[in-house]
Every structure is written in C-alpha cells, then in structure tokens.
Structure 1
Amino acid sequence: MARSLVIKVTAGMDAPERCNQAFTVAAAAVASGVPVSLWLTGESAWFALPGRAKEFRLPEATPLEDLLDAVLTGGKVTLCTQCAARRGITVDDVIEGIRIAGAPTFVEEVLAEGAQALVY
C-alpha cells in the first residue's frame, strides 16, 4: 500500500507562518504523488470558505489560495465538524470539494496502513 500523509492545520491568520507551512507541505506532497488529506481545524477552518484563502498574505510565500487549489486538485481537504459548527459554517458554505467530517474520520485516516500524520 502507498504511504499517505494526513496533515492537520490548526493555525490561520493568527499564526501565518505555521499555517503556510502546513499548506506548503500538503501541496508539495501532492505534487510528489503522495496521497494527502489536509484537515482544516481551529482558525484554519475559515479557509474552507470561498475567498478566505485569497485574503491570506505572507511575504515570500506561495499564495495560500494556490496551495489550497493544488491540494483540492490532487488530494482531500476536510473541515472539522466541531470547528465548522463553532463558526456557523455549514456544508452549503464551503468551497466545492471540501468535506466536513469529525474525529472518527480523522482517526481512521491516521491509523490507515502506511499513513503519516503531521500537526501544525
């Protein structure tokens, strides 16, 4: 079975370098052919909404919108159920291709054979 990468990003505009690192690693892994699952939790939950990634700015970094598009094209992006609920985000609000799922799905992905997990 191929190795996969599960990345959980908790940071958003409150910690831009940590946030960007997670998206950069996810996009680089997708570009390398690695199966990627990127989880948006905490403040990164806002990036599941249309236009929010475009608002993110970090000098010398690839635009977050481009990184998110790359992951959506070649991997999976999931918005945490509880994080969405706390922010009033529903399935009708999120970017097409982003799913909303909870801890059981995260645990299942992390425990899958060959999976590696990173938390930012």
Structure 2
Amino acid sequence: MIGNILAVGAGGFLGSVLRYLFGQLSKFIAPGLMFPVGTFLVNILGAFFIGIAFEFFSKQGLMGSTMQLFIMVGIMGGFTTFSSFSLETVNLISSGRLGLAFIYAAGSVFICLVGVWLGKTII
C-alpha cells in the first residue's frame, strides 16, 4: 500500500512539474494570444496519453499495478485531471451507459464552472 502511495505521489509531482513547464513553453509558442493555449493543449495531450495507458495496462493485465498507478493516477493526474474525466466518460459510453455519460460530462462541466464562479464571488 505504501509503495502505491509513493508511486502516485512521485507521479503527481512529475505530472505537475510537466504541466507547469508546458504552460511556460506555451507562452513562447503563442505569445499574447488571449486563449489558455497551455491548459488546452495539456488537456488534449493528457486525454490522449491516458487512453494509450489505459489500453496498454488493460491488455497487459496490469491495472492496479504500481506502474499503472504511477502513470495514470500520478503523472496524468498531476498533468491534468481532465484526462481522468475524459477516460471515465468514454468508458461509460463504451459500456453502453450513454445517459449516464451525458449526465456525468455535462454535470461535471456545469457544476465545476458554477463552483469556480461561487468560489470567486464569495471572496
């Protein structure tokens, strides 16, 4: 158990540092652009890579392994939680639970936006 916790923590550290560096790099890629390019690209890349990781670990029978936790929960979780959200939504769709996938996706986006707005307005 402690090994899994350390793997997730180490991966989270690495993913967070990568997200920060990618954000800094995006300032040079698109200077002055009034659009969050770094976050946008990080979310797309994170969703892409978590899909690859999920398929790899599933096919290898390694779901729940320390390496899977390090990469998918740690690195991808630190890089972007949007990747986990995207994977969970696609898994709901793949399992035929379209209504639940829609409720989860739309509800998550809407409620999180409301949460940010509420958080900003109470201070």
Fold shared, TM-score > 0.5 on shorter chain: no
Name which one, 1 or 2, has greater alpha-carbon Rg. Answer: 2
Q: TM-score of the superposition, structure 1-length normalised?
A: 0.29
Structure with bigger strand share is 1
Higher helix share: 2
